[in-house]
Structure 1
Amino acid sequence: SRRFRETLQDIRTRPYLRHLAVMVFLVAIVTEWTSFQLSLLAGDLHPKDATALARFFGTFNVFLGIVAFVVQLTLTGPVLRKFGVGVTILLLPAALWLGGASVMLLPGLITVAMNNAFDQGLRFSVDKATYELLYLPIAPGARAPIKNAIDIVVNRIGDGIGGVLLGIATGGFLGLPGLHFGLRGIAAANVALTSIWLGVAWRLRREYVRTIRDSIHQHRLDAERASRSVLDRLAADALASKLSADDPEEVLYALSVIEAQRVDRWRVSLRALLGHPDAEVRRRSLALLSEIGDRAIAPIAGDLLRDPDLGVRTEALLFLAREMGIDPLARIEELGDFADFSIRAGMAAFLSSPGPSRNLEAARAILEQMVETKGADGVQDRAEAARVLALVPGAFDDLLSALIRDEDPSVARHAVATARVLVSPGAVDALIEALRNPAIGDEAAEALARYGNDVVPTLQARLLDDAVPLDVRREIPIALVRIGSAEAGHALIEALLQGDATVRYRVISSLNKLRRLHPEVTIDRGLVELLLAAEIAGHYRSYQVLGALRPSLADEDSVVQAVRQSMDQELERIFRLMSLLFPDADLQDAYVGLRSTNPTIRANALEFLDNVLAPALRQLIVPVLDPQVTLAERIALGNRFVGAPLTSAEQAIATLLGSEDAWLQTSAAQAVGVLRLHGLAPQLTRLASSADPALHDVAEAALRQLSGDQEPVPETQEPPAEMGMGVG
C-alpha cells in the first residue's frame, strides 16, 4: 500500500531508522547462527536418538527460559535505570562476541551452551526492553507502522538471508556448493557479523541520543513559538481593534498599553489619532509620538497649536520647542492661552537647545523650579523637566537622578528614558536603585545596558555587596545579561555563590543566556560543581522535610505547598547549573520536556538524561525525575546522601525556619503556631525581629498562639516570582 511504501522510504532516508533496521537484520542472522551451533553439536551428541535430542533441547530451553525470566524480573529495570540504553544496547552483541570467540578457541558443548545462554538469557530480557525503548523517540503516529515494518519485513528478510548464508557456509544451498564450515568456522563468521553488529549498535546509540535531543528541542521550540506567536498576534489584534474603536475610553486604554511598550511599531496608528474627535486621545497620541521624536508630524503639531483644547495646544508647543527648536515665547504671544508648565518647559527647552539663544544657567534655574514642584500638582512639571533634560547631555545629572527617584512612576519613566538617551555616568546610581521599582525596573535595566562594559564593574560591586538592598541585587543579573558581553559574564561568575536563593537563581539563569551569546566565556568548573552538589543536597533535604511533614500536615497545607514550590525552583537551578557544565548537551530542552504534559515528551526527556549524564550525576538526578521512584525511595536516598534524617514535623519545620528564604520561613512560622510547637519558640522570637514585614507579623502572631492567645496566624502571601527556596 501507499502507506507501507512511505514507511519503507522513511526507514531508508532517516539515519536513525536505517541504523535500527540494519541492527535488526544483523540480530536475525547472528542469533540464527548461534542457535544452529547448538543444534549441530546436539546432533553430534545424539546422532540417532530423537527422544534424547528432544529431551536435551527441552531441558536446555526450560532452564534458559527460567534464567531469562529471573533476569527480566530482577535485573532489567535496575540495569536500564543505572546504565541507560546507551550501555544496554551493547550488552547482547558484546556477550555474543565473547561467546563466539570462546567457541572459536575451545569448540565444545560448554562454550556453545554458554554462547546460547548469553543469547537466550539476554535477548528476551534486557535486550528486549532496550529494543522497545529504541522506538521511544519516534512520533506516536508513525511509531506503530515503522515498528511493524522493521519487526515483520526486515526481521523476516534477515531470517531468510541468514538461512541462505548458513547453507552456503555449510553443506550448500539449492545446488550451490557449500564451504563446509565446521563449528569453529561458523563461530568465526558469527564473530565477524557480531563485530559489525557492535559497530552499528554504537552508531545507533549516538543516533538515539541525537534523535531524542531533537525531539525534545522541537517540543521546546514549538511550545515557545506557539505561545509567543499566539500572544503577540492576539495582543496586536486587540490593540489595533481598540485603537480604531468608536468609544474614546477604549482608545485611551489602548494608548495606556502602548505607553508601556515600544511605541515605534504603532507610529502610523498614532498619527491617525491626531485628528481624533476626543481631545484626550489627540493629546496622548501626540505625547507618544513626541516621546519617540517623530519629526514627520511637525506640520500637524503646528496646526494643533490652534486646537480648541488647552492640553493639546500645550503638548504641541512642547513638541515644537523640544524637537524643532521653535521659540515658545513667540508662539505664546502669537496664540495666547497655554498651561504654565508648558511655558516653563518650552522656555527651558529653548534655552537648552544648541544655538545662539542657549543659556544653561537660565535653563537650570527654570528646571530646578520644575523639579522642586512637589506633589500630584507638579507631576506635569517634573515629567516635562525629565524630557527637556534629554537636550543637555551631562549638564544636569543631579536633576536627572532626582527625577529617576521620583515617587510618581510616569515622571520616573520619562527620566529613565532620558538617561537611556544620554548614557550619563552621573545617573548610574539612580538607575541601579530604580531596578527595584516594578513600574520602571525593566526600562532601568535597558538604560543601564546602553552603558555597556563601562558600568559592569559598578554592577558587579553592587551585586556582591550585602549592604545593597536585596530587591536591588535581585535585579542586577538581568541588567548584566542585557549588556551581554564577556565582561558581564565574568561578573556573573563571581556572583555564583550568593546566599539568597532568588539572586542565585537569576545569576545562574543569566549565565545560561550569556554562555549562548559568548561561548568563549570560561566557567570555573570547580565552583559550578561545588554549587551543583550543594543544590542537589538541598533538593534531597527538601524530600526529607516533605517526608517528615506529611504525617502531620495535609498536602494542601501552605507549608507543604511551599516546600513543593521550593523543590520546583531547586530542580530548575540544578538543570541550569548542569547546562553550564555541559553546554552542548541541551539540558534546558530536557528540563522543558520533563515539565511537558505529553507523556511521550516526558519519557523522551528522561531517557535523554539517562544517556547524556555522567554515571555519578545520573545516579543522583534521575531518581528525583523518574515517576517510578516513590517518595519513600527518594527520602531514603536523601537520608543516604545528605544524612541527618528528619523523623518529626518539628524537626522539619525547624529546618525551614533556619532556611535563607523569608517566604519559606514565613510559611514555617505559621505552622509553628498552628501545630503548637513550643520547642521552636526561640526561633520564632528571632524571626519576630525580622525587617521583612510579613515574616515579622506571622512570627508575632505565632508567638501569641503559643502563649495561649487564640488569634489565628495570618495567611502567608504568594512567593515572589522566580523564587528559589532551597532548604539544604
Structure 2
Amino acid sequence: MSATESSWVQRLWPAAIFQFALIAGVTQLKTAANALVLSRFESQALPYLYLVGALITAVLTVLPRSRPDAPTESPGLITVMGSILAMGLAAGVSAGQRLPALALYLFADTFTTFVSLRFWGRMASAFDAREARRAFTILNGFGMGGGIIGGLLVQALAVRLGTSVVVASGALGLLTAGLVFHFNMGVVPVVPRPRHASSTAAPWLYFAQSPYAQVLGALGIAFAVLSSFVDYLFRLRVEGTLSEDGLAALFGSLQLWIGLFCVAFQLLLAERLLGRLGLLRYLALVPLVLAPLAIATLATPLLWPVHLLRLVETAVNYSILPVGIQLLYAAVSDEQREAVRSAVDGLLRKAGVVLAGLLLIGAGRTATGATMAVAVVGLCIALVVLLFRLKPAYVEALEERVGASVEDEVEVGGETQKLLVEALGASAPERVLRAVDMLAQAEVPLRVHLPALLSHSNERVVERGVELALELGAHEMSPTLERLVEEGPRRPRDQAVWALARLSPARAERLLPSLLEHPDIGLRCAAIGAMIHSQGHSAALAALSALLARGAQAPVAERREVARLLGRLKDARFASPLAQYLSDADSSVRRVAIDAAGVGQYLELAPRLLLFLTWREERKDAREALSALGDRVMPLLEVTLNNRAAPVAMRLQLTRVMRSIATSDALHAFLFSNVRDDAFLQFRIGSAMSRLRDEHPEFPVDVERVREALGRRRDVYREYVEAFRDLRAALGDGSLLTRAVGDRLDQALELSFFLLGLLHPPQVMRRVHQLLVGKDPRRRAYALELLDNVVAEEDRELVLEQVEAHHRDLPLGAAGRLESHLEVLIQSEDSVLRACARHVAQRQGSLVVPSAQESDMSEVTVQKMFALEGVSVFSQSDVDDIAAVAAVAREVRFRAGERIFNQGDPGDALYVIVEGAVDHFHDGEHVLRQHSKETFGDVSLLDGAPRPTDVVAVEDTRVLVIDRRDFLDLLADRPELLTGFFRAVSQQLRQFVEAEAPRPEILASSPLPEPVALKKA
C-alpha cells in the first residue's frame, strides 16, 4: 500500500465507524419517535412539529461557533452528550407520557442535523474534492450498514420489548459512535477556521454576491420541502392502519430495506454513476425517480406505491443527497465553505421544513393524498429546473477555484479616462504613449488631443501624433504639419511629409518639390514617396530612378531609406528593385528591406522572406513582414509548414507567423497540419493554435478533426507509457532517454488540452492542465471536477486515460525490457528519441545499431547532448531544448594550470565541465572547486555582469562553452528554456542557503557567498 493510500485509510476508518454507529443509533431513535408521534397524536400535529423542529435547528445553526479544535465542536463529544439525553427520554417514554414522545421527535431531528454539520465539515477538510467522491461514498455505505443494523434492532425489539427499549438501544448506539470518534479524532485533521468565517453575517454576504451560493441555497430548501411532503403523504396513507408497536415494526422494516438498498447502491453503483453521469446529473436522479412514484400513488389506492415512494425518498436522502450535496460544497471557497454548509444544511434546509410546515398548516384538510402527490410531482419538476440552473454557476465557481475564470474586458470609465487624458501632458514619453494606446483601444476620441501630442518635446510622441493625425484625417493640423516639415526633428518630420501630402495636397504641392534635392536623404525620400503616392509626379519618379541607379554604390544610410521608401509606395512596379536590397551586404539594409516587403504587401517576395526565418539578425523582421501579408500568404505558409524537407527551424518560426496573422485560415492550417511530423513542431503548433483560439473564439473549428487529433495524442500515450516506466526502472529518471520519452508524454497530454481548448474555453483548459500536472492534490481535484463538468463525455473519454493514469504517477516498470524498447526507439520517426536511443544502445553494446540516416542528428551534437545529461541547470529543461543548446555549444580544452578567464572579464558565456576540475579565486583567495557535470557562469549568461572570480583548470579539463549571444537567441524562440534554467538555478541557491545558514562568518567575510559568486562567474 502506498503512503498516500495508507494516509487515506487512516483518515477514513474512524470516521466510517463513527458513521456506522451514529446512523444505527439515529435510525432507532427516529423510527421510535415516528411511531410514538403517529400513535399518540393526530397527523395534523405533524406540520407544527416540522415547524418547531426547524426553528430549533435554525437557532442552533446561527449560534456563535467555537474554535474548530474546541471540545464543543467535536462530533464525538456532541454524540456522547446526545446519548445521555436520549437515555433520559427513553425513561420518559417508558412511563407512557406524551411530551417525551414529542421531545424525542424534536431531539432526533435537530440532533442529527447538528452533529452532521460538524462531522461533514471535518470530513470536507480531511479529503480533497476527488478523494471525497470515494470517501463520502464509503462513509455513506457504512452509514447505510448502520441503518440496516438499526432497522433489524427495531424489528427485533419493538414488538417483543416495546418502543422505549428501542430508544434506549439507539442511545447506546450514539454512545458507541461518540467514544470511537473521540478517541481517534487525532487521525482526522482539524482545519483552522478563518477569523471572518466565524461571523454570523459572513455566509449571507457571500450568498448576496454568489449566484452559485444562491442556487445552492434554493436547492437545499427545495429538497427539504420535497422530503417533508413525501413524509406527510406517507403518514396520511398509513395513519390508523397499525398500532404503536406495529408502526414501529413497520418503520423498522422500511429502514431495513432502505439500508439494504443503500448499501447495495453505495457499493455497486454510486461511484460508477458519479463518474459516468457527473455530479449534477447524479443529483438529478432524485426528482427523476420520485416523480413517477408520486404519479403511481394517484393511479391506485393500494399502499405499495406510497411505501415504495417513502422507501426510495428516504434511500436517496441517505445515499445520493449526502454525497452529492457535500460534493457541491467543494466549489465554495475555503474561507466560506464551512459557513455556507452550516447556512444551507442547517438554516436553509430547515427553512424548507418550516416552509413545508406552513404550507401544510395553510392547506389544512385540503392536504389529501391526491393533492400531496401532485405537489411532490411539481417539486420534482422545480428541482430539475434548479439543477439545470446550477450547472453554469457550478462551473463558474469551479473556474474561480482553479483560477481559470475568463477575464472580462476592462472598460475605461470616466475617472480612468480623466487620468489617461492627464497623462497625455506628462513629460515621460513612455507614459504618454501608453495613455494614447489605452485611449485608442477604448475608442476614446483623440482628435482634440492632437495639438498637445504634436507640440510634445519628445520625438516619439510627436511622431505618434503625426500618425494619429493621418489616421483621423485631421485636416486642421496641416499648418502644424507644415511647420514640422520645415523645422521639426528628423523622425516626425519625415512622417509629417507623408501626412501633409494626404491632408493638404495644396500645401504639399507648394512645399515638397523643393525637397527632392534635399541633402537629408530621409527627408528627400519622404518627399519623393509622398509626391509619387499622391500625384504620380514625374520629377519625383525621376529622383527615385536616380537613387535606384546608385544601387549598392550608395551609402548604407541611403540604401536603408530607399528600401523603406519602396515599401511605403506599395506599388508592384517596385517589388523587383526592393528584392535587390534583400540581398544587400549590410544587415541593417536587409532588415529594412524585409520590413518594406511587408509594408508594401509584396506577396511575390514572400519566398525570399521565408529564407530569412533561419537568419539570426533578420528573423524577427521576416516574421513581422510575413505576418503583414496576411491571408494572401497563407497558402505558401501552409505548404511550407507541412513540407518535411524544409528546415525545422524555419517551420518552427512559421507557427509564430501564422499565429500573428490570426485568421480563420491560419487556425485551419494549424488544425490540418501534417499528422506525422517533428514532435516538437507539433507541440508548437498546438500551443499557437490554443492561443489563437483564445484570441478569436468566433473562428469555426472542425470538431471531428479535433477529436481525431485527440485520439492521436491518446495513441502517443499508449505507445510510450510502458516504455517510460521501464526506462525509469532501467536507466533512472535522470537519463536523457527517459526524460525524452517523458517529454513526449508530457507534450501529448498538454496537446490534448490545447485541442480541448478548441471546443471549450482555451484559458480554462490550459489552467486545468496546469493544475493536473501540479503538486497540489486539492487543486488537482478541483481541476478534475471542472473537467467533468465542462467537457463533453465523448471528448473526456479521449483524455481520461492520460489524466487518471498519469505517466509520472505510475509505478516503475521492468528493467529487463530495456533492450526491447531500444530496438523500437532506434527506429523511431522522432529524431530526438532516435538519437538518444542510438546513443544508449551503443553504450549498452548488446544491440546492433543501424547506420545513421541523413536526417539523424549529428554525432557531435548527440555527444554534447549527453555531456549535458545530469547538469543541474538543465535538469528541468525539455530534451528538445537541451538538443538546441547542444547545437550551439562548442567544446574547448584547457591544460592543467591554464586560466579560463580572469576576475573582471565580461560575462559572455556559460561553461559546463565535461571532464576535469576547476578552481575559483576571488582576490587571490581560493573560494571553490568544481568537478564534472558542474557549471559556472550561469547568471552571467543572462546579465552579462563581469566575472567575480578567476577560474583556473586544476587538471586537463574539457568544457562545453555556450556563448551568451547564442543562448539569448535560443531564448527568443524557446522561452520555456529560461523557465527550466531559473528553476534549476533557484533550487541550487536554495540548497546553498540551507547548507550555509549556520555559517554566518563565511557570509560576512565575502561580499558574495561562494556559490553565488560562482554562478555569476
**Of 392, 396, 411, which residue of structure 2 is paired with 1:210?**
392
1:670/1:698 contact within 8 Å kept? no
2:556/2:589 contact within 8 Å kept? yes
Q: 1:20 and 1:463 mapped to 2: Cα distance?
A: 50
Q: Which residue of 1 aligns with 2:861?
A: 694
1:575 deviates by: 2.5
The answer to whether residue 778 in structure 2 is matched with residue 595 in structure 1 is no
Q: 1:329 and 1:166 mapped to 2: Cα distance?
A: 97
**Matched residue count:** 632
Q: 2:696 and 2:488 mapped to 1: Cα distance?
A: 50
Q: Which residue of 2 aligns with 1:535?
A: 713
User: For residues 2-401 of structure 1, what are the structure 2 equivalents within 5 Å?
Assistant: 7-8=203-204, 11=207, 15-35=211-231, 46-48=242-244, 50=245, 53-58=247-252, 60-61=254-255, 64-65=258-259, 67-69=261-263, 71-72=265-266, 75-105=269-299, 111-165=305-359, 176-177=364-365, 179=367, 181=368, 185=369, 188-189=370-371, 191-215=373-397, 219-220=403-404, 272=457, 356=539, 358-359=541-542, 360-370=544-554, 383-384=560-561, 386-387=563-564, 389-390=566-567, 393-398=571-576, 400-401=578-579
Supply the AA of the counterpart residue of 1:100. Answer: A
2:603/2:632 contact within 8 Å kept? no
Supply the AA of the counterpart residue of 1:206. Answer: F
User: Which shows bigger deviation, 404-413 or 710-719?
Assistant: 710-719
Q: Which residue of 1 aligns with 2:632?
A: 454
Supply the AA of the counterpart residue of 2:547. Answer: A
Percent identity reads 21
2:552/2:584 contact within 8 Å kept? no
Q: 1:190 and 1:654 mapped to 2: Cα distance?
A: 73
2:831/2:857 contact within 8 Å kept? no
1:591 deviates by: 2.8
1:344 deviates by: 12
> Equivalent residue of 2:748, what SS?
helix
1:108 deviates by: 5.7
Q: 2:657 and 2:693 mapped to 1: Cα distance?
A: 15
User: Which shows bigger deviation, 398-407 or 88-97?
Assistant: 398-407
1:390/1:421 contact within 8 Å kept? yes
Q: 1:687 and 1:427 mapped to 2: Cα distance?
A: 31
1:322/1:388 contact within 8 Å kept? no
Q: Which residue of 2 aligns with 1:470?
A: 648
User: Which shows bigger deviation, 458-467 or 57-66?
Assistant: 57-66
2:229/2:356 contact within 8 Å kept? yes
Q: Which residue of 2 aligns with 1:423?
A: 601
Q: Which residue of 2 aligns with 1:649?
A: 818
> Equivalent residue of 1:90, what SS?
helix
2:230/2:310 contact within 8 Å kept? yes
1:416/1:447 contact within 8 Å kept? yes
Q: CA RMSD in A?
A: 5.6
User: Which shows bigger deviation, 554-563 or 217-226?
Assistant: 217-226
Larger Rg: 2
> Equivalent residue of 1:468, what SS?
coil
1:544/1:646 contact within 8 Å kept? no
The answer to whether residue 761 in structure 2 is matched with residue 586 in structure 1 is yes
Q: Cα–Cα, structure 1 residues 17 and 351, in superposed 2: closer, same or farther, change >3 Å?
A: closer
Q: 1:634 and 1:106 mapped to 2: Cα distance?
A: 57
1:430 deviates by: 1.9
Q: 1:304 and 1:21 mapped to 2: Cα distance?
A: 68
1:549/1:560 contact within 8 Å kept? yes
The answer to whether residue 785 in structure 2 is matched with residue 607 in structure 1 is yes
Q: Which residue of 2 aligns with 1:642?
A: none
Q: What are the superposed Cα offsets for residues 333-381 of structure 1, whole Å, 9 maximum, x if unpaired? A: xxxxx9xx999999999999955264355323312324xxxxxxx8667
Q: Cα–Cα, structure 1 residues 358 and 497, in superposed 2: closer, same or farther, change >3 Å?
A: same
1:84 deviates by: 0.6
> Equivalent residue of 1:135, what SS?
helix
Q: Cα–Cα, structure 1 residues 542 and 327, in superposed 2: closer, same or farther, change >3 Å?
A: farther
2:329/2:341 contact within 8 Å kept? yes
Supply the AA of the counterpart residue of 1:362. Answer: A
2:706/2:755 contact within 8 Å kept? yes
Q: Cα–Cα, structure 1 residues 213 and 664, in superposed 2: closer, same or farther, change >3 Å?
A: farther
Taking structure 1 as the reference length, the TM-score comes to 0.68
1:502/1:722 contact within 8 Å kept? no
Q: Cα–Cα, structure 1 residues 480 and 410, in superposed 2: closer, same or farther, change >3 Å?
A: same
**Of 667, 677, 682, which residue of structure 1 is paired with 2:849?**
682
2:832/2:857 contact within 8 Å kept? no
Q: 2:816 and 2:295 mapped to 1: Cα distance?
A: 55
Q: 1:304 and 1:116 mapped to 2: Cα distance?
A: 90
> Equivalent residue of 1:89, what SS?
helix
**Of 663, 684, 698, which residue of structure 1 is paired with 2:832?**
663
Q: Cα–Cα, structure 1 residues 291 and 41, in superposed 2: closer, same or farther, change >3 Å?
A: closer
2:662/2:692 contact within 8 Å kept? yes
Q: Cα–Cα, structure 1 residues 161 and 7, in superposed 2: closer, same or farther, change >3 Å?
A: same
1:90 deviates by: 0.9
1:558 deviates by: 3.5
Supply the AA of the counterpart residue of 1:97. Answer: A
Supply the AA of the counterpart residue of 2:215. Answer: H
1:515/1:521 contact within 8 Å kept? yes
Q: 2:654 and 2:627 mapped to 1: Cα distance?
A: 11
The answer to whether residue 752 in structure 2 is matched with residue 574 in structure 1 is yes
Supply the AA of the counterpart residue of 2:791. Answer: L
Q: Cα–Cα, structure 1 residues 268 and 347, in superposed 2: closer, same or farther, change >3 Å?
A: closer
Q: Cα–Cα, structure 1 residues 25 and 75, in superposed 2: closer, same or farther, change >3 Å?
A: same
Supply the AA of the counterpart residue of 2:356. Answer: G
Supply the AA of the counterpart residue of 2:764. Answer: D
1:668 deviates by: 4.0
Structure 2 stretches lacking a partner, 5+ long: 1-61, 63-197, 411-422, 431-451, 471-477, 500-510, 870-913, 916-931, 934-958, 978-1017
Q: 1:515 and 1:102 mapped to 2: Cα distance?
A: 51
1:303 deviates by: 7.9
Supply the AA of the counterpart residue of 1:356. Answer: A
1:155 deviates by: 1.1
Q: What are the superposed Cα offsets for residues 637-660 of structure 1, whole Å, 9 maximum, x if unpaired? A: xx9xxxxx9983344455554444
Q: Cα–Cα, structure 1 residues 138 and 502, in superposed 2: closer, same or farther, change >3 Å?
A: same
Supply the AA of the counterpart residue of 2:219. Answer: M
Q: Cα–Cα, structure 1 residues 3 and 472, in superposed 2: closer, same or farther, change >3 Å?
A: same
2:727/2:815 contact within 8 Å kept? no
2:258/2:312 contact within 8 Å kept? no
Q: 2:850 and 2:362 mapped to 1: Cα distance?
A: 85
Q: 1:304 and 1:12 mapped to 2: Cα distance?
A: 60
